[in-house]
Amino acid sequence: MASSSTITIVGNVTRDPELRFTPSGQANTRFGVAVNRRWMDRKTNEWQESTSFFDVVCWQEMAENASESLPKGSRVVVTGRLEQRSYDDKDGNRRSVVEIIADEIGPSLRYATAQVTKNERRGGDFGGGGGASRPQPAAAAAPAAGSASPSYDDFGEEPF
C-alpha cells in the first residue's frame, strides 16, 4: 500500500493559473511555483542561490478560487502531496511529471497583506478532500424555492 506524504512549499507563482473543466464538469487549475533557496558558501564566503520549479494542481472550489486569486508573481504557501503522472507528448514519446496536488493554498503574509473574501459554498465536500457532505440542519435540508443557501449561522458555528 502506498503511503502519502505531505509537502509544503513557499514561493512565487510563475504563470497565471489555468482553469479548465473535465468532461464531467469538475474544475481543475494548474500553475507553477518557483521556490528560491539562498545560502552562504563557507568556502568562498559568497552567497549562492538556487531555484526549484513545481507544478501545482488543484481541484473543485479551490481550483476556481485559485484561478480568481493568484496572478503571476503572487507569493503563496502550498500544502499537498506529490503525485507522479505519465503521458504521451505530441511526438508520441512517453513523459513523466511530478506534480503537487494541493490540499491547501494561501497567500504568504511574510512581505504582504491579504484581504480574504469568503465564498458561498458551492456544494461538494466539507473539510477539504474528505468527500463527506456537510451536515444540513432540518430547516435547511430542503430550502424553499428562491430562498438563500444555508449560512454558518444556520449551524450555530463560526467560520473559523
Nearest to 3 by CA among 82, 67, 79, 111: 82
Domain 6-117 is classified in which CATH homologous superfamily? Nucleic acid-binding proteins (2.40.50.140)
Nearest to 73 by CA among 10, 15, 8: 15
Q: How confident is the model at residue 55 (pLDDT cuts 50, 70, 90)?
A: very high
What are the tens digits of pLDDT across the range 25-36?
Answer: 999 999 999 999
Q: Which residue has the higher pLDDT, 122 or 138?
A: 122
Upper half-sphere CA count for residue 55 (Cβ side, 13 Å): 12
Q: pLDDT above 70 covers what percent of the chain?
A: 72
Query: Residue 61 phi/psi, 5° resolution?
Result: -60, -40
Domain edges within the chain: 6-117
**SS3 assignment, position 158:** coil
**Which contiguous run of DSSP H or E holds residue 89?**
none
Q: Which of 35-49, 64-78, 141-155 has the lowest mean pLDDT?
A: 141-155
**Grid cell of 150 as nine digits:** 444555508
